[in-house]
Amino acid sequence: MHNEGDTPQGETAPDAAPSSSGLLTEIGQLGRAVKRLFGAQLHLLTAELGLARSAVSWMLLAGLAATVAGVGLGLTVLGLLGVLLATWFGSWIWALLVLAVLQAFFLLGSIVLFRRCMHWMSLPATRNEWSAMMRDTVQKAESGISRAAAQGDGREDRP
C-alpha cells in the first residue's frame, strides 16, 4: 500500500495545460449546446409567431362577431323602444317619429364629437409637434439617400 509520504501519481499536481484534443472536445460540446439552445429558441419563436398569426385571425373574427352582435342588439333595443313609444303615444307614426329624432340627435352628437377631436388634432401645439416630426423624418430620409448616393459614387456628401 501507500505510505503517508507517498502520493499517487495522479494526485500530485493537475496538468498545466489540458491536451488540445480535450479542449477541442469541450469546444465542440459547447458549440453543440449553443446550437441546441438557439435551435430551441428558434423553435419557440416559430411557435409563438404561428400562435400570434392565429390569434390575429381569431381577433378579426371576434371583432366581426362583436360588430354583428352590437348591431343586432341596437336594432332590438330600438324595436323595443319603438313598441314602448307606440304603446305610450297610441300611434306607431308618433313612435317612429320620436325614434327618428332620437337617432338624429345621436348622429349629430357623434358628428360634433368627431369634429371636436379633429379640432384637438389641429391645435397649435399638436400642429407644431406634427410638423417637427415630419421635418425630422424628411431630413433622415434625405440624409440616408445622400449617404447611399455618396457610397455608390465614392464621393463624400456635399452641402
Give per-residue pLDDT as tens, 138-156. 898 888 888 888 887 655 5
pLDDT value of position 4:
53
Contact 33, 41 (CB under 8 A): no
d(CA 58, CA 48): 15
CA nearest neighbour of 75 among 50, 40, 52, 99: 99
Residue pair 82/101 in contact by the 8 Å Cβ criterion: no
Q: Residue 6 — pLDDT band, cuts 50, 70, 90? A: low
- Contact present, 86 and 92 (Cβ < 8 Å): yes
**So what's the pLDDT on residue 9?**
53
CA 133 to chain centroid: 21
Q: What is the predicted pLDDT for the residue at 103?
A: 93
* pLDDT class of 110 with cuts at 50, 70, 90: very high
Q: With 90 as the cut, is the pLDDT of residue 63 above it?
A: yes
Three-state DSSP class for 122? coil
Burial class (CB in 10 A: 0-12, 13-18, 19+), 114: exposed
Radius of gyration of the chain from Cα atoms? 38
As a whole number, the mean pLDDT across the chain is 82
Give the pLDDT band of residue 56 (cuts 50, 70, 90): confident
pLDDT tens by residue, 117-134? 888 877 777 778 878 888
**Is the model's pLDDT at 84 over the cut of 90?**
yes
Smallest Cα–Cα separation from 91: which of 99, 149, 159? 99
Return the amino acid letter for 20. Answer: S
Summarize the confidence of residues 38-61 as an average pLDDT: 83
**Ranges of each domain in the chain:** 21-122
pLDDT tens string 11-39:
555 555 555 677 888 888 888 888 887 88
The pLDDT score that the predictor gives to residue 102 is 92
For position 142, what pLDDT does the model report?
Answer: 87
**CA 68 and chain centroid, separation:** 26
Q: Cα–Cα distance between 37 and 26 in angstroms, integer?
A: 16
pLDDT at 83: 95
Helix (H) or strand (E) holding 98: helix 92-121
